[in-house]
Amino acid sequence: MTQTTIDVKSRTPSASFERNCVRRLPYTIEHIVTPEDGYEFEWSGSSAYLALHDIVLKDGTMAGDLAPTSQLDMRTRLTFLPRGVRVSGWGEPARRGNSFTALYFDQDWLLDELETAPNDRDLQPAIYFQNKHLLHCLSRLGDVARAHTPAPKIMTDSLAVMAGVELMRSQVATQLDGAGLTSLQISAVRDFVIAHIADDVSVADLAAIVGQSVFHFTRQFKKTTGASPYRFVLETRVERAKQIMLDNTLSLSEVAQMAGFGSASQFSKIFSGIVGITPRAFRQTSR
């Protein structure tokens, strides 16, 4: 059976530890709290692997297809293993909350979406490196994996896309910038979002409107509008909610549902963050 996530085992067979996983083709997000009594790990290299570590060890090592490596303080450090690179190792953690977030993805999908030239497709492992942009993306993905409610596709897609872009920026000299999107393209995306305001749209849905890959679309959209596709969808939903709230016969829960929010509490939080006041206060001032 193909290994899809890293194999982590506690040194105490009966001990349990926390791991949360979100599977979205063609990528998987996972957050693992490492066993307190020590652990062993193994990765088969069946897909590409990108991880953000928040781990401090007393002792430990990683080996396999790579030269043996030991890094005791791995806080804010990242590891990238291209497809086919196999590793294994062990760790004896310090007494603190130790964990890591992993993003597993189809390497060909990433390279095809980025239209990477043939001579740039030989990706290299990077062990315990630092990158503030990837740190931000992987931290957010860890939050998604730990959440008790499913995250919108547009959110997870955006974060996975940006992680891929930043990874490739650090790997190859691929030119990702361009002239941006035209006003007609932005209008077409806006019209689609409005027409599907209550649907769980993805970045791929929006990219298809303008005929671009998700990677190019995400970067060009933010360059043109100043907002990520996810933020744009949220702001569009908030504007739609403002219109719906003019009907005072509808409850805020009904408004939230009609505007595409998962719950009234999510609606209130996002609305307040964007508008600066709660939906209830906005409704009162609009009377």
Q: What is the pLDDT of residue 173?
A: 42
Give, rounded to a whole angstrom, the gap between the first and last alpha carbons of the chain.
61
- Do 223 and 112 share a domain, yes or no? no
pLDDT category, 215, cuts 50, 70, 90?
confident
Please indicate, yes or no, if residue 77 is contained in any of the structural domains.
yes
Which tens digits make up the pLDDT trace of 93-149?
Answer: 999 999 999 999 999 988 888 777 777 788 888 889 989 999 999 999 999 999 988
pTM for this predicted structure: 0.72
Residue 276 has pLDDT above 90, yes or no: yes
Please indicate, yes or no, if residue 167 is contained in any of the structural domains.
no
The crossing angle, in degrees rounded to 10, of helices 229-244 and 214-225 is: 60
Look up the CATH number of the domain holding residue 53. 2.60.120.10
Please indicate, yes or no, if residue 2 is contained in any of the structural domains.
no
Total number of domains in the chain: 2
Domain region containing 46: 7-146
CA angle at 283 for the pair 281 and 286, rounded to the nearest 5°: 110
* Cβ pair 107, 144 in contact under 8 A: no
Q: What is the pLDDT of residue 164?
A: 87
- Do 129 and 188 share a domain, yes or no? no
Give the Cα separation of 187 and 177 in Å (integer).
21
Q: What is the pLDDT of residue 13?
A: 79
Count of positions (residues) in the chain: 287
Which tens digits make up the pLDDT trace of 149-196?
Answer: 888 989 998 899 889 888 888 875 444 455 678 888 898 899 999 999
Q: Which of 129, 146, 163 is the last residue of a domain?
A: 146
Give the Cα separation of 44 and 86 in Å (integer).
5
Give the Cα separation of 90 and 101 in Å (integer).
17
Q: Which of 124, 146, 168 is the last residue of a domain?
A: 146
For residue 7, count other CB atoms closer than 10 A to its CB. 11
- Do 108 and 12 share a domain, yes or no? yes
Which tens digits make up the pLDDT trace of 38-90?
Answer: 999 999 988 999 999 999 999 999 999 987 888 999 999 999 999 999 999 99
Q: What is the pLDDT of residue 115?
A: 78
Please indicate, yes or no, if residue 1 is contained in any of the structural domains.
no
Look up the CATH number of the domain holding residue 183. 1.10.10.60
Please indicate, yes or no, if residue 278 is contained in any of the structural domains.
yes
Decide: residue 52, CB within 10 A, 0-12 exposed, 13-18 middle, 19+ buried: buried
Q: What is the pLDDT of residue 55?
A: 97
- Do 181 and 109 share a domain, yes or no? no
Please name every residue paired with 42 in a beta bridge, in sequence order, or none if there are none: 7, 88
